[in-house]
Amino acid sequence: MRVKDSATATRTIAVTTTDPVADRTDGTVRTGGTSRTVSTGNTSRTGSTGDTSRTGGARSACGDPTVTRRPGRVARGGAATATSGNRADPLPRGTLLAALGVLSFSLTFPSTVWGLESFGPWSLVAVRSPLAALVAAAFHLAGRGPLPERHHWAGLAVVAGGVVIGFPLLTTLALQTSTTSHAAVVVGLLPLTTAAFAALRTKRRPSRTFWCAAVAGAVVVLAFTVQQSGGAVSRGDLYLFGALLVCAAGYTEGGRLARLMPGWQVIGWALILCLPLMAVGSAVALSAEPVHLNAHGVIGLVWVAAGSTFFGLYVWYRGMASIGIPKASQLQLAQPLLTLVWSVVLLDETLPLAAPLAAVAVLVCIAVTQRARS
């Protein structure tokens, strides 16, 4: 730019600009890798200016700089950052992982019934935990996972007490007197229970649409349960309701911790944490309860240990960390219906006539909760 003064001669001086990519060491402006020198008059500032243009922006006739923004953001340090428009959306992958966890959990009750053919209820629960802990220890040795930070141990204890000990024990006791299909539908209240625990624990408030759909799904499940049980609440139902509470607390803490460490470390350290207690419990239970090994019993034990307790919780916590605890919990509305299918296929139980209608209603609720703001 040249500014001419009628009283003075034109000369060239260096002007320092605020261009983010300006080189301030030699007074020249480098834009797009080229240097240029700005010329102006000696003393007068009232002269006319010529139009100049530069790559990435233009200077107006009144001297006000205007910037033409390009894709990407210019950092203060002078380096342009890459655009984030091509970043992959993590939600579909998180939904897939959570759904895989639900599929694994849907086999838990049929596998437990199989396991009870060979083991007593206390023995089955006590033995499954050490077996799952051995699988977790192998993963930790292979992955060289670091020790959790001190303030994470309290949350891991809640996970251990809820999903490693409490839920398996209470549901196994319930399955001694309840059918698999009945227990599966009662546990269908778990999504709403988990969402409520998550709202209290994380201080997040899902939208009204989310809550309406979640409550509607729970009402469908509860109505189905009452219709199938004849309106009576048995001791097995009390075990199942207790299992809902401890499992929801464990899911909530596990989902929170899975944002801070890998999901396999969350369930792995929870299993290792309760390994000494469950090892002693295994010895006591096996000595007190008879064992009659058969194929169903062994398969059931292996699945509840490696499939449900380790693998299922691993992908479940990863999914919750990705899409959030409330939305992931609503995917479990499909778990009772999947378990009903497995109970027919694996246990030859009779599928209730109301199950297809409940399935449609529950799947609609799942679709609404997945689209609602959480």
The dihedral through the CA atoms of 334, 208, 94, 311 has a sign that is negative
Tokens representing 365? Answer: 């609720």
Residue 107 pLDDT:
94
Alpha-carbon gap, residue 134 to 302, rounded angstroms? 12
Residue 229 pLDDT:
67
Tokens representing 135? Answer: 């699988």
Contact residues for 53 (Cβ-Cβ < 8 A; gap 6+)? 59
Residue 82 pLDDT:
38
Residue 45 gets which letter from DSSP?
A: S
Rounded to two decimals, the pTM is 0.67
Residue 212 pLDDT:
87
CB 214 within 8 A of CB 369: yes
Alpha-carbon gap, residue 81 to 266, rounded angstroms? 34
What does each C-alpha distance from 370 to 103, 239, 282, 323, 359 come to in angstroms? 17, 30, 41, 9, 16
**In one letter, which amino acid is 77?**
G
Give, for all 374 residues of the chain, the pLDDT tens digit: 444 444 444 454 554 444 444 444 444 444 444 444 444 444 444 444 444 434 444 443 444 444 444 444 434 443 333 333 344 444 578 889 999 999 999 999 999 999 999 999 999 999 999 999 888 888 878 877 788 888 999 999 999 999 999 999 999 999 988 888 788 878 878 888 888 888 888 777 778 888 888 888 888 877 877 777 666 667 888 899 899 999 999 988 988 898 888 877 888 899 989 899 999 999 999 999 999 999 999 999 999 999 998 899 889 888 888 888 778 877 887 888 888 889 889 998 887 777 778 778 887 887 787 777 55
Angle between helices 295-302 and 108-115 (to 10 degrees): 140
Residue 289 pLDDT:
93
Q: Give pairs for 40-43: CB < 8 Å, separation 24+.
A: 40/1, 40/2, 40/3, 40/13, 40/15, 41/2, 41/3, 41/4, 41/5, 41/8, 41/10, 41/11, 42/5, 42/8, 42/9, 42/10, 42/11, 43/5, 43/7, 43/8
Which 3 state secondary structure label does DSSP give 374?
Answer: coil
The neighbour count for residue 345, using CB atoms within 10 Å, is: 11
Q: What is the pLDDT of residues 220-252, one digit of tens each?
A: 877 877 777 666 667 888 899 899 999 999 988
Residue 124 pLDDT:
94
The dihedral through the CA atoms of 87, 89, 94, 99 has a sign that is negative
Residue 373 pLDDT:
58
* H/E segment holding residue 304: none
**In one letter, which amino acid is 78?**
G
Tokens representing 272? Answer: 């290792």
Residue 115 pLDDT:
95
Q: What is the pLDDT of residues 312-331, one digit of tens each?
A: 988 988 888 888 877 887 78
Q: Which residues of 187-203 are buried (b: 16+ CB within 10 A; e: fewer)?
A: bbbbbbbbbbbbbebee
